[in-house]
Structure 1
């Protein structure tokens, strides 16, 4: 019969997740299908009901449902419960179990790209206060960083993420304007919103005029491969981290949860980078 995996989100048709997970299935010589369930907010409940009837073995959750999905899962993995957002759901014994692999996937991509970085001596800034930010913020806290702050258009929403901090790590919720003025104090800056994705790929969430030379600037948007945010970072002398690494590694962690196996993702990461760069030359 084979596995049935999927993705729920809106919009979601642009997602490369089917391509990624079909590669994982091929790598392990498994039969299966990964399909996209693009679902508007008005149809969320009915789509989820259909997915449960289909007994989808596992599915990913993307914007805008990483927090909304909490009310539909039967059980939460302790880490996902702490984060307060779910991007991976496992179907097991008739129940849905919610997990979060976003943050751990991001940290793995960061350390794979810059293995020399000692996170415990770094100060980080997360821009945005959505589900992805919650996962990344929590994962960075677990690395005992010197400081992790959250910047958002509405600091009140950022404060709900800062409330997750149980590591006694110094952390503040600040406005985007405050972040722009104080960028020079951060060693790692992570853009966690959808700003910079098509059709708004000419947009940039904040100015990087004050970024510290040599800082690592990351964008979780993976298409375009070189967002205007990362282009600006390079021009200011920062090092950059592209979004495709987080996508690949969080997907690998999700696949491992669904199949109880271990996946090798490094080769696929290289293929994905070549594909994304090729798209930009078309």
Structure 2
């Protein structure tokens, strides 16, 4: 039995489905099981919330390993890890960020602090450090539908975006293979693309001309704040966008193929499978 958190999100759901497809039993930790969709009928559900560490500990009983996605600012990570340790001490596969390897970034320091808390807990763990998700481009859907426009704060800077399915595939291997414990795995896609190149790909898939329109970093910050993101976090996101814009995007890594045996998806392949979400 494996415990998966965040199964209603971009990565946890793929992990649960991949584990099920491989014939493994899956328990999902969920605050609102109604958000699990069809997955709810295929898994064991443990109701709980990260604000109640005991509920996570109870959900972990009898499991071999746990996929833990707390986000960069969890309410009480030491308590959550202590609850896991007190309930069988399953191995942990922990979602972090590629920014954790660079103390220059505000969000990187947040993620690195979480990794250090995990290490101090004594739990055997594998840390996943993915680059930017391809699913972040779904934020463009509204402006594409309304204006055929993508607003772009990264100019022509390139980055190795990764599909959530590929992050999930590495997570599944880490859940199944205890020899990956003790490692921090930096995960990227297999190509460097900028926003105008991604927009060209979407134009071809949607069959109409889309435009990439440059916007300032400050306008991006204000848009994120208006959407409900706290300003310090919004400025942290903007800092990473600015680094890409200035040509300081992270290099590609071969980790996905090394761990899974399969090359990461291209943006074209991922967007082709998700075209309806932009249309």
Higher strand share goes to which structure?
1
Smaller-chain TM-score bracket = 0.3 to 0.5
Greater per-residue helix proportion: 2
Q: State the TM-score, normalized to the length of structure 2.
A: 0.36
Q: Greater relative contact order: 1 or 2 (C-alpha under 8 angstroms, separation 6 or more)?
A: 2
